[in-house]
Amino acid sequence: MKNELIHGDALSVLPTLPSGSFDALITDPPYASGGVHAASRQQSPQTKYMQSGSRQLHADFVGDERDQRSHLAWMRLWLAECHRVLKEGAPVLLFTDWRQLPLTTDALQCAGFTWRGVAVWDKTEGVRPQKGRFRNQAEYVVWGSKGHMPLARRAPVLPGVVREAVRKVDKHHMTGKPTDLMRQLVRICETGGRILDPFAGSGTTLVAAREEGYAYTGIEMTEHYWQVAQQRLVTP
Ligand SMILES: C[S@@+](CC[C@H](N)C(=O)[O-])C[C@H]1O[C@@H](n2cnc3c(N)ncnc32)[C@H](O)[C@@H]1O
């Protein structure tokens, strides 16, 4: 299988991929988060994730407006397809935030994976301070595996907390992850393996995979971000 970035809906594309063909699932799906009430969560990402007084520099994306029940049902659907296309013992990494942490650990297990823990992405003190409150400084990586995960895998010891600030020059998506963060996380995959990211966004997981010597397959539904990712992947 060659490296590829497919433009389409993960729910339609995943069933076309061969069973047992990937060594890791590493993805950052829409969180369907933001706001405290259902009505605020159903707003567009542009509205939900814009900090007051700031200007949104990145395009909107699809799939972030589901309510809790439909988000869980949807997560379970695509995760079950990912379960089919992964090899036995393959690791799974799912990004989420504090609101969706319980839903994400439920979805992982509903789809048949073994839940193994939660790693932390420390976004550093660069995030907006709020007087009298904890700084909302972390996002989470719910991780697990397809069944038994042998200790003797060809992968290094990984940090449980990864500290990486978001830098403007390295942010290509409204919710884009730092490339150096992803370079550390993709090392969960066995050396030289093939990584699947069905919600590729601006392609950060795929760029990190390439830089760390892995093969990759990505899927992205929003045309704008599919093009951004393609552009990043043709740049040496
Ligand atoms: C949180 S973003 C990923 C950002 C990425 N980690 C980055 O660094 O650029 C999630 C992406 O999933 C895409 N998406 C949402 N629903 C999708 C679907 N059904 N199939 C494929 N992509 C989808 C959105 O367009 C969005 O770009």
Q: pLDDT tens, 168-209?
A: 999 998 899 999 999 999 999 999 999 999 999 999 999 999
* Closest residue by CA, ligand 1 atom 4: 201
Average pLDDT over residues 5-28: 98
Pairing of strands 4-7, 215-220: parallel
pLDDT in tens, 57-92: 788 888 888 999 999 999 999 999 999 999 999 999
**Ligand 1 center from residue 92 Cα (angstroms):** 17
Per-position DSSP letters for 36-78, written without gaps between them: SSHHHHTS-HHHHTPPTT----S---SS----HHHHHHHHHHH
Q: What is the C-alpha to C-alpha distance for residues 32 and 4, in angstroms, rounded to an integer? A: 27
- Domain boundaries, given as residue ranges, for the chain: 4-234
Per the structure block, which two tokens stand in for 30?
Answer: 């829409």
From 13, 27, 62, give the residue whose CB has the most ligand 1 atoms within 8 Å, as the site to mutate.
Answer: 62
Q: If you measure from the C-alpha of residue 187 to the centroid of ligand 1, how many angstroms do you get, rounded to a whole number?
A: 21
**How do residues 142-156 score in pLDDT, each as one tens digit?**
999 999 999 999 999
Whole-number Å distance, alpha carbon 37 to ligand 1 midpoint, is: 23
Ligand 1 atom closest to Cα of residue 219:
21
- pLDDT, position 33: 85
Q: Which of 100, 199, 227, 232 to mutate to test the pocket of ligand 1 (most atoms within 8 A of CB)?
A: 199
Which one is the CATH code of 4-234: 3.40.50.300, 1.20.1440.230, 3.40.50.150, 3.30.1330.200?
3.40.50.150
